[in-house]
Structure 1
Amino acid sequence: MDHAKTFCRICEAACGLEVQTEGDRVVSIKPDRAHPVSGGFVCAKGTRFAEVAAHPSRITHPSVRRGGELERTSWPRAIEAAASRLRPILERHGPHAVALYIGNPLAFHALGQIAAVFFGRALGTRNVFTAGSQDCNNKFAAAQLMHGTPVIHPIPDFEHAEMAVMLGTNPAVSQASFVHLEGGALTFDRFQKRGGRLVWVDVRETESAKRWGELITIRPGTDVFLVLALLGLFADRGIEDARVAGLETLLELAREITPERAEAACGVSAQQIRALAADIDRANGVAFHQSVGVNQGPFGTLAYVALQALAYVTGNYDARGGSLFSPLGVHGARLARQVGLFTSQARSRIGDFPTVFDSLPGGVMADEILTEGPERVRALVVIAGDPIRSIPGSRRLERAIASLDAVVALDFFESRTGQHADVILPATTFLERADLALPGLPLQTVDLAQTTPAMIPRVGEARPEHEVLAQLSLAIDRPLFGSRLASRVLSKPGLADRAIPALTELAWKLFDRDPARRGHGVPIPTPKPETYLGRGPMTEDGRVHFWRPALDAERARLLAWEKRARPDGFVLLGRRRRIGHNSWLHGGTREGALEGEAWMAPSDLARLGLEDGADVTLRTETGELTMPVRARDGVAPGTVVVPHGELEVNVNELLPSGAAHIEPLSGMLHMTGVPVEVRPGVRVRPTSPEGARA
């Protein structure tokens, strides 16, 4: 038996893992107790990943579909088969006729992410779609408005805060997004142990609220009213600071949203709002954090801007125990701008939505395919993703993808989208490649950029995404970086797997020499208070902008939404799961009952005359699903909670898509608080597990 150290690549936490192998096989994956960052913490997702890597349904050889059936072929023939389908479309209809979809897992493969971005640029298409518009593009849009780049984000300084206010996040189940937690969820154990106060703002009593701190229950999609009301209570402090701009315009809006007005919209009492503001004012350091539960609402961008303004006016911005900013975020943003990343001004053909983080809203993908006209999407390259299962309006999207002239999928399972692929190219799992923890770098407070060697040889003929995309770019005569030489180097099998460990060792010898950190990565600078304002922003005047003309329309939209913030019937909510991740990891074996069930408040079941475990049909304007329902304490009356990305029941069949259901600023789909009808139903038999990704 051999033992090796690596880190998980499912989310930004990048927790340390100890992998036990026997020959080419992974025997077990356990927490790395001596890891210099995670300190032995890891969630169940990472430790179960060997099941995904060795799953019997995994695709390990290139395949081409003939007569509706996949046939194994060689890599050269598979690459040529993909290229021969894409080249005529590019030549006849232009670059925008080929779309690219990049799934969430690729964000955690450094070279794969870089290759995918430059593959889209090599194609010349504006039609790049990612999982971001179902998850976090509001944060990228807000960062662009405020900081002049989508790369710079505030980092909550939990280690030094006296109080933390957490909106729409459940790290007990899913770690946390847009923050790298040192020691994972153990961060909050330490926080409580030293007497810190944690306040969770959410639509239900989440696992995090049960484990740490206290809960403020809020109506779905209305967090922006609470944040603005809090901000309004601090609006008359007379702050004058040449390092910021647009603050007074935002404060004018905040003054209008009084605690009483916010109570009517969001359900949090005016008394609670004033008490929370007083507690924030008294605390010596308050860390604020907003996550997916807010992002997926109708005002994720405005809420993120307002929350940063709240940190600023309370003295918790660029401050110890409040919000910090990473120097790597600033340096990375400058480098990205120099090479032309995240600078696209393209807008979607359907809906005229802006490009955010160099991608368009997934919610218009079906329309971009089905709506006739010049530059209609006719081909799709899918990388580490499953848009059919992950994007709302999934039934219509599946019809659209089935109508395409060509679909190429790069994945390690035949996902729902992959079932429509003409060519499937097998990818490695994170256990089979060397890597760098790139996405967490601008979001972490520790001084280590983690790297890892591959844990096991590549399974079958699987190849990492960067090698495949480099090969495909050469085959269609559109090389990455505009350079055939660079593409040939990047496509060289195993080059990165040899180079990354060698460079890590060299960096350790030159800059570190700490035996406990050897082989784990390279040292990096860490965030420091009072180093960002006036120096870091990449806006045209070097100031943080709390308001831009692009936000003007949000005022009217907010007022219109306020009138319907209290629906008469039920509303639909999503949730994360302990084992699954977005629409991913379903290829792994799971113990216990299937999770394709709805949660409702016990009082709602009693009112509807439904028994715990009965079957219900959920119906929206988009579609309907039938599944078991469970009485669950902590679920707010009037809400129905369904997990995202389940194989047995795909909640995206219920969620609406299209321009009317997309936030204008960021392209985020409205995926929470959707009105839903609940009635008795007949159970739908679960489908067989298959791999799926976000």
Structure 2
Amino acid sequence: MTTAVPSRTHFRTCNLCEAMCGLRIETDGQRVLSIRGDDADPFSQGHICPKAVALQDLHEDPDRLRQPVRRTATGWEPLSWEEALAETAQRLHAVQKAHGKNAVAIYSGNPTVHNHGAMLLLPFFLKALRTRNKFSATSVDQLPHHLASYLMLGHQLLIPVPDVDRTHFMLILGANPVASNGSLMTAPGFRARLKALQQRGGKAVVVDPRKTETARLADEHLFIRPGTDALWLLAVVHVLVHEVGARLGRLAAFTDGLAHVHELSREFTPEHVAPHTGVAAETTRRIARAFAEAPSAVCYGRVGVSTQAFGGLCQWLINVINVVSGNFDREGGAMFTRPAFDLVGGPPAMRMSRGSIGRWKSRVRGLPEFSGELPVSVLGEEILTPGEGQIRALVTSAGNPVVSTPNGRQLDEAFASLDFMVSVDPYINETTRHAHIILPPVTQLERGHFDLIFNTFAVRNTVKYSPPLFPPPPGARHDWEIFLELKHHLDRLHGAPRVRGELSYQALKALGPERLLDLGLRAGPYGFKPRPFRPGLSLARLKAQPHGVDLGALRPCLPQRLATRERRLQLAPELLVGDLQRLRATLLPAEAPARSDGELLLIGRRHVRDNNSWMHNVAKLVSGKPRCTLMVHPEDARRLGLREGGEARITSRVGEVSAPVTVTDEVMPGVVSLPHGYGHGRPGVQLRVAGAHAGVSINDLSDDRAIDEISGNAAFSGLHVRIEPVECTGRDEQPTIG
């Protein structure tokens, strides 16, 4: 007779995007019965988005790999973990022995930062790998934020967060938080937060080439020509400094560079930039003055202003606007968190690097490293260009760069040419199909969860630990265990001192991510202190609070939290100021530029049910009308002979795709939009649901040579493309790749 397993209720944080929504998950044995929002979560307060159901689908996905596999001439064959790990280490070592330590590269995708075990143990594997060729998703969407924070505030993670719950004026550029619930601004239920802002008499203004979901709910939306945001931001600075007058308040005592900002912004009047941005001078001046006159205000920019040729300038100028208007490090402005596990000001062993720039450069194009990583835009050329230092082997972890980074076709060619490739990933996707070995980790529901990174960017100080729902199957490995085992193998092969290496391995294995997490919490700002009758925070105490703990609203913390020399805020860093000359050189003629027939500017877009390519293998998330369509303004559609539902051919310097057309005034004239993360029709991909909704990859068009020169971040937004209708052939046309 079988004993029935009782149903249970689990409280958890969703770790599929940055929003940190609290979940209430009902299970029956090994089955998930339901996933709902947790009303008792003090941060998300019951909010949930459609992506949360994907936790069950990803856990149960029949396409997910359950054990290591090796690619052979006749297909994929299963391997034991011992054989897979040993062969991986041996082949990586062989490449480095023959061609040098930098002949191996590693790419880490964005799910890594949703996994505290990977975050805490991956650095030990990277140290054992001993390569300078490290890449990540950072340089495809957020590197300008880190650069600006490093140069202005002294630490790459001191990224100011909008105090959305107390502000009275929110100026949003290139961001769609109603769809994303925040990015580098963790704000679950942003729609409700925006409504609350308006109900208290506040105002939201969105500046974007597309009328996004956020723009539809805002008080005002301004169309802006893609790639000109830095010019418009300079015009706002001009009004604030030259017409309204800078109001630094208490920041003046520890801020350098105001006089420099005053002088360099002089020429960028609203009238001077208006013909280039498409925003009328009187509108710019009105918005800037309203921002200055609000009781509190905050300027926030995200992917759309980071992923362009002047992304570094944009993020710097956003900080400048918040500082000179007196809205930096104050209630309702741009503020900083004080997370329980403090990656900025915690004990040295627990901190992340402050950052660095230019300690070495990429071999082919000479682009600078930032914080030990090279821009991923150079990965393809570093593999394909012969010579000393050529990349000949690659490790990928939780990443799909073929569809998420520039010039995916070049990466296809590059990955196919490697001597060896290994992927730590649960799927055979557009990238991992090139791997020789795939090492699949446990699922999101089979590991504990703690938000190391997103607590650092939350709009309120909060902390929570989520234990695993299910035990991993016998023999399964966590990401951190895979990294630790590979480190151990490599240390032996590299001839590291055996006793010391063995002791390090055993110590890390015994500690694991949970004990490391406990040490970080105890040593953090809410940890054990000599305070009578007030025991501090520890992992055990956190586990006793399954809904999480509210640590309070954001509080002023400068200059104490600054990491610059002498704890002074640098308003005009030399590297950023110097880049203004490049911006001046790109100024367009005084009159609006004439578009050649068929040429438009391509931008991306985000949907609430999208985050990365994993989401496209979840039937619930891709159901409904096809989302991988080309948005075209009605004027451009008429001019180019495009029709609703018809096919358009989109061509760039690096490639060509065809996609169905959506005619809409959501995009401004001269601009077209494709979503990212699609293109699942490549041979060898084993994603059945995604394959049925293949779409086309915007990164078969994006140009690996289009970058922000000072940060190296990919410049996706505002890509010049040519559009033409696909002639009807009498048969059903389907989106094509290549």
In the TM superposition, what whole-angstrom CA distance separates every residue of 1:103-122 from its partner, at most 9, and x where no partner exists? 00011111202322332222
Cα deviation per residue 1:408-439 (whole Å; 9 max; x = unaligned)? Answer: 00011111111010110011222110021111
Q: Does 1:252 align with 2:263?
A: yes
Q: Is the 8 A contact 2:230 2:314 kept in 1?
A: yes
- The residue number in structure 1 matching 2:4 is none
Q: Give distance in 2, aligned partners of 1:287 and 1:552.
A: 22
- CA–CA separation in structure 2 for the residues paired with 1:427 and 1:684: 39
Q: Output the TM-score relative to the length of structure 2.
A: 0.87
Q: Is the 8 A contact 1:143 1:151 kept in 2?
A: yes
**1:426–1:461 CA contact under 8 A, matched in 2:** no
Structure 1 distance, partners of 2:121, 2:85, is: 16
* Alignment equivalent of 1:341, drawn from 349, 353, 371: 353
Structure 1 residues 522 and 194: CA distance shift in structure 2, 3 A: closer
Bigger mean CA offset, 286-295 vs 536-545: 536-545
Quote how far apart the aligned CAs of 1:567 are.
Answer: 6.4
* 1:654 matches 2:701: yes
Partner secondary structure for residue 48 of structure 1: helix
Question: Deviation at 1:623?
Answer: 0.7
Give CA-to-partner distance per residue, 1:46-79, whole Å, 9 cap, x none: 2332112211111111111222521111110110
**Residue from 313, 327, 330 that aligns with 1:302:** 313
Q: 1:429 to 1:330 in 2, by over 3 A?
A: closer
Alpha carbons of structure 1 residues 242 and 498: separation in structure 2 relative to 1, 3 Å = closer
Query: Which residue does 1:76 correspond to in 2?
Result: 82
* Letter of the structure 2 residue corresponding to residue 651 of structure 1: I
Q: How does 1:476-491 map to 2 (within 5 A)?
A: 476-477=490-491, 483-491=501-509
Other-structure match for 1:691: none
SS in 1 for 2:433: helix
- Correspondence for 1:692: none
The count of aligned residue pairs is 683
Q: For the residues of structure 2 that align with 1:502 and 1:149, how far apart are their CA atoms?
A: 22
Worse-matched range after superposition: 255-264 or 581-590: 581-590
- C-alpha distance in structure 1 between counterparts of 2:191 and 2:647, whole Å: 35
1:337 positional shift: 6.2
Rounded Cα–Cα distance in structure 1 between residues aligned with 2:417 and 2:541: 57
> What does 1:164-563 align with in structure 2 at a 5 Å threshold?
164-181=170-187, 183-236=189-242, 237=245, 241-328=252-339, 332-335=343-346, 341-343=353-355, 345-458=359-472, 461-477=475-491, 483-491=501-509, 496=513, 510-511=535-536, 518-521=545-548, 524=551, 527-529=554-556, 531-532=557-558, 534-563=559-588
Residue 89 of structure 1: how far off its partner (Å): 1.3
* Matches of 1:248 and 1:342, distance apart in 2: 27
- What is the CA distance between 1:520 and its match in structure 2? 3.6
Task: Write the distance in 2 (CA, Å) between the matches of 1:502 and 1:358.
Answer: 25
SS in 2 for 1:477: helix
Report the 3-state secondary structure (helix = DSSP H, G, I; strand = E; otherwise coil) of the residue aligned with 2:23. strand
Pick which of 273-282 and 519-528 moved more: 519-528
Would the aligned equivalents of 2:658 and 2:735 in 1 still touch at CA under 8 Å? no
Residue pair 2:47, 2:188 contacting (<8 A) in 1 also: no
Using the alignment, how far apart are the partners of 2:503 and 2:32 within structure 1?
36
Letter in 2 for 1:186: A
Q: Distance in 2 between matches of 1:128 and 1:68?
A: 32
Deviates more, 1:285-294 or 1:86-95: 86-95
Q: CA deviation at 1:657?
A: 0.6
Post-superposition offset of 1:153: 1.1
Matching residue of 2:717: 672
C-alpha distance in structure 2 between counterparts of 1:285 and 1:183, whole Å: 21
SS of the residue corresponding to residue 43 of structure 2 reads: coil
- Structure 1 residues 607 and 663: alpha-carbon distance in aligned structure 2, compared to 1, 3 A threshold: same
**C-alpha contact (below 8 Å) 2:659/2:735 kept by paired residues:** no
Correspondence list, 1:569-608, <5 A = 569-589=599-619, 590-608=622-640
Q: Which deviates the most, 614-623 or 121-130?
A: 121-130
SS where residue 266 of structure 2 aligns? helix
Determine the C-alpha separation between the residues in 1 that align with 2:342 and 2:234: 31
Asked if residue 159 in structure 1 is aligned to residue 189 in structure 2, the reply is no
Q: Which runs of 5+ in 2 are unaligned?
A: 1-6, 529-533, 681-694
CA–CA distance in structure 2, aligned partners of residues 164 and 474 of structure 1 = 50
With over 3 angstroms needed to count, the CA separation of the structure-2 counterparts of 1:679 and 1:227, relative to structure 1, is: same
Distance 1:317 1:583 in 2: 36
Q: Percent identity?
A: 32
Determine if the alignment matches structure 1 residue 25 to structure 2 residue 37: no
Q: 2:69 aligns with which of 63, 66, 83?
A: 63
Which shifted more, 560-569 or 107-116? 560-569
Q: Indicate how the Cα distance of structure 1 residues 119 and 247 shifts in structure 2: closer, same or farther if over 3 A, else same.
A: farther
Per the TM alignment, residue 511 of structure 1 is displaced from its structure 2 partner at its CA by: 4.3
Q: Deviations over 1:280-313 (max 9, x none)?
A: 1210000211100111111111111111111111
Normalising by structure 1, what TM-score? 0.92
- Aligned residue number for residue 690 of structure 2: none
1:156 Cα deviation from its structure 2 partner: 0.9
Q: Return the alpha-carbon distance in structure 2 between the equivalents of residues 639 and 337 of structure 1.
A: 47
> CA distance change for structure 1 residues 39 and 606 in 2, over 3 Å: closer, same or farther?
same
- Residues 110 and 515 of structure 1, relative CA distance in 2, 3 Å threshold: closer
Q: For the Cα contact (< 8 Å) 2:135–2:376, is it kept in 1? A: yes
Is the CA contact 2:17–2:611 (under 8 Å) kept in the aligned structure 1? Answer: no
Which segments of 5 or more consecutive residues in structure 1 lack a partner in the other structure? 689-694
How many angstroms apart in 2 are the aligned matches of 1:313 and 1:468? 48
Give me the whole-angstrom Cα distance separating, in 1, the residues matched to 2:426 and 2:437. 13
Question: What is the match of residue 613 of structure 1?
Answer: 645
Give the secondary structure class of the aligned counterpart of 1:261.
helix
Q: Distance in 2 between matches of 1:311 and 1:329?
A: 26
- What is the identity, as a one-letter code, of the residue corresponding to 2:255? V
Is 135-144 or 242-251 further displaced after alignment? 242-251
Q: Deviation of residue 380 (structure 1)?
A: 0.4
Deviates more, 1:535-544 or 1:281-290: 535-544
Q: Distance in 1 between matches of 2:340 and 2:543?
A: 26
Separation (CA, whole Å) in 1 of partners of 2:57 and 2:518:
25
CA 1:3 to 1:318, structure 2 compared with 1: closer, same or farther past 3 Å?
same
- The one-letter code of the counterpart of 1:671 is F
Task: Check whether the contact 2:163–2:331 (CA below 8 A) recurs between aligned residues.
Answer: yes
8 Å CA contact retained: 1:380, 1:407: yes
Shift in CA distance, 555/460, structure 1 to aligned 2, threshold 3 Å: same
SS of the counterpart of 1:667?
coil
Q: 505-514 or 289-298: which moved more?
A: 505-514
Select 2:670's aligned residue among 638, 660, 663. 638
- Report the residue type matching 1:152 in the other structure: L
Range with greater deviation from structure 2 (585-594 or 154-163) = 585-594
Residues 341 and 520 in structure 2, CA contact (< 8 A), matched pair in contact too: no
- Could you tell me how far apart the structure 2 residues matched to 1:424 and 1:348 are? 27
**1:24 Cα offset (Å):** 1.4
CA distance in 2 between partners of 1:250 and 1:206 (Å): 32
Alignment pair present for 1:127 and 2:159? no
Q: Distance in 1 between matches of 2:416 and 2:586?
A: 36
Retained in 1: the 8 A contact 2:124–2:484?
Answer: no
Summarize deviations over 1:299-329 as a string: whole Å, max 9, x none.
1111111111111111111111111122349
- CA-CA distance at 1:10 after TM superposition: 2.2
Alpha-carbon distance in 1 for matches of 2:62, 2:257: 56
CA apart distance, 1:378: 0.9
Cα gap change, 1:161/1:517 in structure 2, threshold over 3 Å: closer, same or farther?
Answer: farther
After TM superposition, give the deviation of residue 446 of structure 1 in Å.
Answer: 2.9
In 1, are the aligned partners of 2:169 and 2:297 still within 8 Å (CA)? yes
Give, in angstroms, the shift of residue 518 of structure 1. 1.5
